[in-house]
């Protein structure tokens, strides 16, 4: 039995699919994650750093 995996989305993406992959993992709307990332970026730049790290680390999915 395999649980959920955190993967970048290939189909529901704007830049690299990171926010859509996180949203799929958490079962929420990707727009919410995108807004949170924008707020973190505008609030000091942490969102951009987190996005870049996630884009490098997260594997790409072929399912969603």
Which residue is listed with tokens 């039995």? 1
Give the tens place of pLDDT for each residue, 25-57: 999 999 999 999 999 899 888 888 988 999 999
Least confident of 8-12, 28-32, 46-50, 59-63: 59-63
Give the tens place of pLDDT for each residue, 13-30: 888 889 999 999 999 999
pLDDT at 9 over 90: no
pTM of the model as a whole: 0.83
Q: For the chain, give every domain's residue range.
A: 1-64
Distances in whole angstroms, Cα of residue 59 to Cα of each of 42, 46, 62: 26, 21, 10
DSSP 1-64: -------B-SSS-SSSSHHHHHHHHHTS-HHHHHHHHHHHHHTTSHHHHHHHHHHHHSPBPS--
Which residue is listed with tokens 């594997």? 59
> How is residue 33 written in tokens?
């994650």
């Amino acid at each position: 039995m395999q649980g959920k995996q955190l993967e970048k989305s290939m189909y529901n993406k704007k830049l690299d699919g990171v926010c859509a992959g996180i949203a799929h993992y958490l079962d929420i709307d990707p727009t919410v994650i995108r807004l949170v990332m924008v707020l973190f970026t505008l609030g000091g730049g942490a969102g951009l750093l987190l996005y870049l790290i996630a884009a490098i680390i997260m594997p790409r999915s072929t399912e969603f």
